[in-house]
Amino acid sequence: MMRAITCAIVAATLGLAGCTGGNDQSSSQAAQLRTYVDVIRANRGNRGGPAPLPTLTPALISQLTVPSLEVTVENRNTSAFLVPFSERRDSRPGLLRTWRTANDAMLVMRGGVLVATRGLGNDLASSNADAAVTGIQRRSPVSGLHTVYYVDGDNQTRSVDLDCEMRTVGNETVEIVQRGFPTVHLQENCTGTRGIITYDYWVDRRDGVVVQSRQWGGPELGYIRTRRIKK
């Protein structure tokens, strides 16, 4: 029931026709990662607040059979692993994919660009960033409007319009779990009522996958970092 309710909320907010609901394989992979983290945190004693995620190993990653995403909310110093829950294409650019943790928190990404969160509190309700998605697809700068809708402390949905200029920082090798990825680093510098907001995307030059990013989830969530630990 909870899965159906969550799916309905995501579908209504982001214009989805429906969710595929995920499968047993992806659920078990999320549980495997969560158990791995919980065991190591328990062995560390976990004194003085949540321990950081343990260092992943190539051996663990090789056992995963579904894509996996590591997410860190900077201002909360919390991290989690996510696996795909549903995905679809529509008339807008980019694949719309929902990622889910083992305890049902969710991130929705469009072509690697963060467009919504669920279950984090003061969530990013939705966003429109088609220019950024197009730039990532082309692996070259595309500037334009980036509109963010977020839930504030009074549980009201607010919007922020950002005027963004994208630039190429350069070609960089990103190392994730002892594996190097040849990327182009694209950066959006955005201005709006909240001041200057910066988005960073490291896009694999070979297939266009965003293997690493730092994106703004609204004034309540702040910046969220992602790493693709398994494509």
- pLDDT the model gives residue 214: 98
- pLDDT the model gives residue 155: 87
- pLDDT the model gives residue 65: 82
Long-range interactions of 201-210: CB distance < 8 A, separation 24+? 201/112, 201/113, 201/132, 201/136, 202/172, 202/174, 203/112, 203/136, 203/139, 205/139, 205/171, 206/182, 207/231, 208/136, 208/137, 208/139, 209/112, 210/109, 210/111, 210/112, 210/113, 210/136
Residue, of 11 and 53, whose pLDDT is higher: 53
Of 47-56, 192-201, 222-231, which range is least confident?
Answer: 47-56
State the pLDDT confidence band at 28, using cuts at 50, 70 and 90: low
CATH code, residues 2-230: 2.40.360.10
Average pLDDT score, the chain:
82
Its sign, for the CA torsion 21, 24, 29, 33, is positive
pLDDT in tens, 81-102: 898 999 999 999 999 999 998 7
State the pLDDT confidence band at 126, using cuts at 50, 70 and 90: very high
Q: Give the domain ranges of the chain.
A: 2-230
State percent of the chain over pLDDT 90. 59
User: Which whole number is the average pLDDT over 39-66?
Assistant: 62
State the pLDDT confidence band at 60, using cuts at 50, 70 and 90: confident
State the pLDDT confidence band at 34, using cuts at 50, 70 and 90: low
State the pLDDT confidence band at 30, using cuts at 50, 70 and 90: low
- pTM higher than 0.85, yes or no? no
